[in-house]
Structure 1
Amino acid sequence: MTAQTTEQRFQAFKNSVQQQDFDSIQFLVARAEQLESQDPELAKRILVRVTNLKNLQVQKKQQGEANKSAGLKTESRPAKSPENKAAADEDELPTGTSPFATYISPAIELISKHAFISWVVIPTLLFAFYQVFLATERYESQAQVIVQQPDGMATMDASMAVLTGLGVSNTGVSDTELVKAYILSNDMLNYLDETLNLRAHYSLSQVDFFSRLSEDAKQEEFLEYYQSRLKVYIDSNSSIVHVYSQAFEPEFAHKLTQTIVDRAEWYINSIGHQLAEAQLDFIKSEHKNIEQQLEQAQTALLTFQQRYNLLDPTAEGMAMQQITYGIEGQISAKEAELKGLQGIMTLNAPQVIALKNELKALKEQLGKERAKLSDESNQSIPVSEILAKYTDLKVKMELALQAYTSSQVSLEKSRIEAYRQLKYLIVVESATKPQESKYPDIYYNLALFAALVAMFFAIAKIIISTIRELK
């Protein structure tokens, strides 16, 4: 017989009995036993009806207990009409359902009845087993460091310190944050991996699967794992940097923390020296350029003085002008005197000849004095032009000298400023060597896990109860 004819016979059986007998488990079991030899398929279908009735009774019982525990009054649902009941039968178990459902339903019923044990107690016990017997112990080593600057007030007098800005320390959050950022950086990770082979330690095969680093982990995953095993925080009151590093061996944890501190100290010191050297190199190069300009101005002035054989053209020019003016005055007087003698004496008179000789000597001397203002090509240069060139060269030299003096002061101040910018990482507490493991914290982890699982279970229970109430 096909499944369709079996269902037709079941519907005929349903119509031949009363509703109360059709809802009675004892009546249906007895009738199934009677029909087992004559029509086994119909007997199995009647037993499916018996299983559905049992499940319905269990669900009503559980719902009543839930309502009773919540302080709610249960309300009896109205009996279904024969039409609705038949439809319910069709919904609860479709035509052709295997008798295997008879054994699956009790299991589902058991799981639903013990949901708290299944979803809270058992996962918590499994997690506890992992924490106690499987989780690998981790050791933690700690160290404390602080960034400090030298006291510039102790190396110079107070007035100089105020002028240069020393005595006002700018070591603060920026320096400690710089230390923290470098410790957690990829550069530090690469250095630790090269120095201590950190990746191999975190990927040890004897470490449990959930605690170790994958052997084929990418650099980003390696960095994330490293940061999860390292804790760095800054004390806002004292600006002390606290470093905590974890490893699977106490000796390695100690070595890891000590290497981190040493590398951070090198980093801070190198930054301070690099900044100081860069600043000093710039100031020295500028000072050297100014010094060369001063030398060029001095050389040009000396060359000009040597060319015209003048120590101070301004003073010597005025002296030569006075001498020239004096000789010209004497020549004028002698020429007037000669004209007077020529009027009363002959040209061959001894007094006239003597006066002519004297006048000639004065003119020759005037020519010599004027020749002193001539250049190498014997071209006459006006005194005003010589003075203008000399004044220009002298102004350039004075400006170069002032710039050199200012540059020298700036160089000395830069030396002091560079000394001021030097910073040192001082170790407050050296890396400790742990004696016992700190992680995993079994009691804390179990309490947290149990609380979270129970909370999620309660939320799910509330959601499911709400959905049932809204049906």
Structure 2
Amino acid sequence: MSTEPGQVAARVSPLLSVLRQRRVKAGAVPAEAPAPDEPAEGPDAEPGAEDGPDNVARWRRGQPAIRPSAKPPILREVTALAGEPETARRIADAPTRPLPGLPDQASQFAGRRARRHRQRRGIVLSFLALVVLPTLAAALYYGFVAADQYVSEVKFALRSVERSGGHDSASVVSGVPNSLAGNTDSFIIADYITTRQFVDEVQRKIDLRQIFSNPRADLWSRFDPAAPIEALVGHWRAMVMSRYDLSTGILTVKVRAYTPEDSYKLAQTVIDGSERLANELTNRGRQDFVRFAETEAQKAEARLRNARDALGDFRRTEGTYDPVRVATSNADLLAKLRSDLASLRAEASALSGSMQPNAPMIQTLTGRIKATEQQVRSVEAEGQRNGQGAGADMGSMVARYASLESEQTFAEKSYGMAMDALQAARGLADRQQIYLATFARPALAESAQFPNRPASIAVMAGFALLVWLTGLLVVLGIRDHLR
């Protein structure tokens, strides 16, 4: 049976490709001397029939022809054998044998498949270890082990006494404490519920260690009664949630326990402690306001006492009770004397034109005029001295008296306002300034709200999947970098 040359070439071509790959991996094959039957190369060599038109043109121009590099002996042998049909058929039907130093393609494919299989197996095992097993453990724990937790919810708001609209001192004092009832106090109460001081206060009323170590609790969430107070505070913070809504001013507290009765008692204790803290927040402020009002009243009283003493000393020194009235009466008397003196002088001047100077009537008028002038001088002299003759005039004495009298009047008014403020401050200190408006009181729970088993399992699965994906990306990145 004969074999066509095209079929021989098709079967030999894979062997030639393998030989070419071997030559490329082994390095450039050095050119050997041309075989005796191959034409010589050079500018004088005449192109043969195997030469192409390019080499014929180069030979005509006197340039050397471009010859292919000499074939390796094994290629020449294969090429020579391919010319014989029987030999080519034996070569094509012969089993494939790996050449020395050249890996088999099947071995390469098998190695790649093995590596990919190991990679897939490692990915599957890591997925089982990091995702499936934690999720399964979470499902078993939350489905069969985790104990039920009951919740009691409390909602209240912080309120204060309304401020009056007056502008007197009592209104000012009564309105100051209301500024304490703001968002700051609500935040303080919300944070105070989770502090150790509040836990100590609750522990003195209710045994928290016994409540949190209830036999109904599972081993994972049960509290150790022998643990220190720091562990109790941490467990309290895990079981109590307090949140303040700034937009509505509502403080929400949720207390968890392993029985409905325990959660109810803890929630009621939270209300009592929060209300006590709200009252304590203003105690110091109220005491400061009362103390401030008492101090102002004492200062006003001392000022009034000093004003009265100064006015009494002035009256004793000047010998007059009211210099203003004295000065007023002296001014009125002086004005009347001057009016009378002017009338007497006018009458005397009228009579002197018709009577003799020694006439009895003229002499009488002259005497009266002199007496009136003497009284005018006496009254004027009285206005020029200060009481018993300290050298100051009546105007200065009146000015000093008016200043002392004004100081006493102002001290009396200040003392009255201070006493009103003190009375209002004491009244405010006796009544509650800040209180809790509880509109959602605790109640006994009928069903457990924690733990949320589906949500907890989903969170655990999502977290495990995230960890696995992150680790997988890191490992693949490192592997690619090493390659």
Normalised by the length of structure 1, the TM-score is 0.56
Alignment of 1:291 onto 2:296: no
Structure with greater helix share of residues: 1
Residue identity (%): 20
Residue 280 (str. 1) matches residue 290 (str. 2)? yes
Residue 217 of structure 1: CA displacement? 4.3
Q: 2:275 aligns with which of 234, 246, 265?
A: 265
Unaligned runs of 5+ in 1: 1-55, 70-108, 327-358
Give the conservation status (yes or no) of the 8 Å contact 1:152–1:420.
Answer: no
116-125 or 431-440: which moved more?
A: 116-125
Q: Secondary structure at the match of 1:297?
A: helix
User: Which of 132, 136, 148 is the equivalent residue of 2:143?
Assistant: 132
Alignment equivalent of 1:442, drawn from 453, 464, 468: 453
How far 1:306 sits from its partner (Å)? 5.5
Matched residue, 2:363: none
**Structure 2 CA distance for aligned equivalents of residues 319 and 446 of structure 1:** 105
**Match among 425, 445, 461 for residue 472 of structure 2:** 461
With over 3 angstroms needed to count, the CA separation of the structure-2 counterparts of 1:374 and 1:429, relative to structure 1, is closer
Structure 1 residue 412: Cα displacement: 7.5
Counterpart selection for 1:230 from 240, 249, 252: 240
Tell me the amino acid that sits aligned with residue 227 of structure 1: R
Distance 1:58 1:181 in 2: 66
Instruction: Report the Cα distance in structure 2 between the residues aligned to 1:222 and 1:66, rounded to whole angstroms.
Output: 50
Q: CA deviation at 1:216?
A: 5.2
The DSSP-based 3-state class of the residue aligned with 2:301 is: helix
Per the alignment, residue 144 of structure 1 pairs with: 155
Does the residue aligned with 2:139 lie in a helix, a strand or coil? helix
Aligned Cα root-mean-square deviation (Å): 4.8
Distance 2:159 2:386 in 1: 69
Given that 2:150 and 2:450 are in contact with CA atoms closer than 8 Å, whether structure 1 keeps it comes out as yes
In 2, Cα distance between the equivalents of 1:270 and 1:284? 21
Structure 2 residue matching 1:440: 3-state secondary structure: coil
Amino acid at match of 2:282: G
Contact 1:317/1:383, CA 8 A, preserved across alignment: no
**Matched pairs, number:** 329
Q: Distance in 2 between matches of 1:217 and 1:414?
A: 48
Amino acid at match of 2:277: Y
By how many angstroms is 1:207 displaced?
3.8
Indicate the larger mover: 184-193 or 391-400: 391-400
Aligned 8 A contact 2:279 2:432 in 1: no
> Which range is displaced more, 139-148 or 171-180?
171-180
Work out the CA distance in 1 between the residues paired with 2:459 and 2:405. Answer: 86
Instruction: Summarize the Cα distance change of 1:431–1:59 in structure 2 as closer, same or farther, 3 Å threshold.
Output: farther
Runs of 5+ unmatched residues, structure 2: 1-107, 338-370
CA contact (8 A) 1:313 1:387 kept: yes
Give 1:146 deviation, angstroms: 0.7
Instruction: Say whether residues 1:197 and 2:207 are aligned partners.
Output: yes
The residue correspondences of 1:94-105 to structure 2 (distance < 5 A) are none
Distance 1:463 1:311, change over 3 A: closer
1:188 corresponds to 2:218: no
After superposition, the C-alpha distances for 1:32-65 in whole angstroms (9 at most, x for unaligned) are xxxxxxxxxxxxxxxxxxxxxxxx9998655444
Go from structure 1 to structure 2 and tell me whether the alpha carbon gap of 1:120 and 1:389 turns closer, same or farther (over 3 Å shift): closer
Aligned equivalents of 2:479 and 2:322: distance in 1?
Answer: 115
Does the 8 Å contact 1:166/1:420 carry over to 2? no
2:265 is aligned with 1:255: yes
Task: Tell me: CA distance 1:146–1:248, structure 2 relative to 1, closer, same or farther (3 Å).
Answer: same
Q: CA–CA distance in 1 between the matches of 2:230 and 2:110?
A: 55
Query: How far apart in 2 are the matches of 1:466 and 1:374?
Result: 110
**Aligned amino acid, residue 472 of structure 2:** K
Cα displacement (A) at 1:274: 3.8
